[in-house]
């Protein structure tokens, strides 16, 4: 993981190679002109062209997983008694809904450079079951957090294009506009305040490098693409921790049904490292979502999507069930994600 992080940070400083502008954009005016809804940074815009996009994501997580094994709520509390470190003595998470509203703006600057920015509004709700060291073991409670997330800025750089192919480098980064420290008294049911656990925080608290690279190939009846995208925190935040290094490898195929409708299938491999450092206000014993060494792992997802191009408006949806997870320690397992987007170029 560290070698991969070093490679991409080095790549940020590398000059671009030669660029060949494509001769015919007929393939890029179909319903499959963009990647499936769960992919970003996959297409360019002509000089002076703008694009506005609204994207909605809903991720649902239910039950916990230790490694690749699903645990019930009661098993999660029992598992924490013998884990290293000991955890879930105050409570265990039972399920979580993570919604995200995203506003995405792009502008073509030259034939080979497109700039973009993305604002994010997360809304996170987590249910819990109180453990044996709480004041009311066996009872449940719910916490919620919402607000602005981290803001992403980037430039898409065309490395190569011809009639059938696009090779695009994503030179991007995020700034820590999402709040990472907010307290709540809900878990204790009294006046005592404690910080929100890590998965319920709205941002990373650090500047993050987010380099990526995408290759797309167009056929007469469809398109194929593959993308490696990363999210790499730089240093630690003011709470003295850094979130996971993240590596996403996506491969997809879109089948054109007609000029205005396409269907897609996507396979996503996601690797995350554990957190580094620790927030001094999040004791491991209380709940597993406070444990920095329980944040990494591997996930494989399947995306099934549709795209419709209607009078210049591109509408895309994607349902993404989780095929497999192998998680470090004990964590909430992801069941599925739903993504929908609307975009318009002008």
Question: Where do the domains of the chain lie, and which CATH numbers do they carry?
Answer: 2-345 (2.40.160.40)
Contact 242, 277 (CB under 8 A): yes
- Per the DSSP assignment, residues forming a β-bridge with 341 are 55, 316
Here the tokens at position 103 are 């506003």
**Polymer length of the chain:** 346
Here the tokens at position 285 are 């014993």
Average pLDDT over residues 108-128: 97
Which residues lie below 8 Å from residue 233, measured CB to CB, with a gap of 6+? 204, 206, 207, 208, 242, 243, 245
Burial of 135 (0-12, 13-18, 19+ CB in 10 A): exposed
Give pLDDT, residue 145.
Answer: 96
Following DSSP, what letter does each residue of 277-309 receive, concatenated?
E--TT--TTT-GGG-GGGS-EEEEEEEEEEEEE
Considering only the C-alpha atoms of the chain, give the largest distance between any 2 of them, rounded to a whole number of Å: 70
Give pLDDT, residue 156.
Answer: 98
Measured distance CA(57)–CA(116) in Å, rounded: 19
> Nearest 5 degrees, angle CA 179-CA 182-CA 188?
155
Q: How confident is the model at residue 330 (pLDDT cuts 50, 70, 90)?
A: very high
Peptide bond preceding 259: is omega within 30 degrees of 0, i.e. cis?
no
**What is the per-residue pLDDT across 47-80, written as a single tens digit (0 to 9) for each?**
999 999 999 999 999 999 999 999 999 999 999 9
Give pLDDT, residue 209.
Answer: 98
């Amino acid at each position: 993981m560290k070698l991969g992080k070093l490679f991409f940070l080095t790549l940020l400083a590398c000059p671009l190679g030669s660029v060949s502008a494509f001769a015919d954009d007929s393939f890029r005016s179909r319903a499959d002109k963009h990647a499936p809804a769960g992919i970003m940074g996959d297409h360019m815009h002509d000089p002076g062209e703008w694009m506005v996009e609204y994207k909605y994501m809903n991720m649902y997580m239910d039950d916990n997983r230790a490694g690749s094994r699903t645990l019930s709520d009661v098993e999660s509390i029992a598992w924490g008694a013998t884990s290293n470190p000991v955890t879930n003595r105050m409570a265990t998470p039972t399920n979580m809904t993570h919604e995200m509203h995203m506003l995405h703006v792009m502008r073509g600057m030259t034939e080979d450079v497109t700039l973009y920015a993305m604002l994010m509004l997360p809304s996170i709700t987590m249910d819990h079951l109180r453990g044996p060291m709480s004041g009311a073991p066996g009872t449940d409670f719910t916490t919620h957090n919402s607000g602005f997330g981290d803001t992403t800025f980037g430039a898409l750089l065309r490395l190569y294009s011809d009639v059938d192919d696009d090779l695009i480098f994503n030179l991007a980064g995020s700034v820590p506009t999402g709040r990472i420290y907010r307290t709540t008294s809900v878990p204790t049911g009294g006046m005592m305040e404690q910080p929100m656990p890590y998965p319920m925080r709205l941002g990373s608290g650090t500047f993050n490098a987010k380099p990526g690279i995408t290759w797309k190939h167009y056929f007469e009846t469809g398109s194929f693409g593959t993308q490696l995208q990363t999210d790499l925190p730089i240093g630690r935040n003011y709470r003295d921790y850094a979130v996971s290094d993240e590596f996403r490898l996506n491969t997809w195929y879109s089948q054109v049904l007609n000029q205005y409708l396409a269907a897609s299938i996507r396979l996503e491999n996601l690797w995350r490292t554990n957190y580094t450092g620790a927030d001094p206000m999040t004791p491991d014993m209380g709940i597993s979502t406070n444990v920095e060494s329980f944040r990494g792992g591997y996930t494989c997802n399947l995306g099934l999507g549709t795209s419709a191009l209607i009078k210049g408006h591109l509408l895309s949806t994607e349902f993404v069930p989780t095929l497999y997870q192998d998680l470090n320690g004990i964590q909430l397992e992801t069941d599925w994600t739903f993504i929908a987007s609307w975009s318009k170029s002008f």
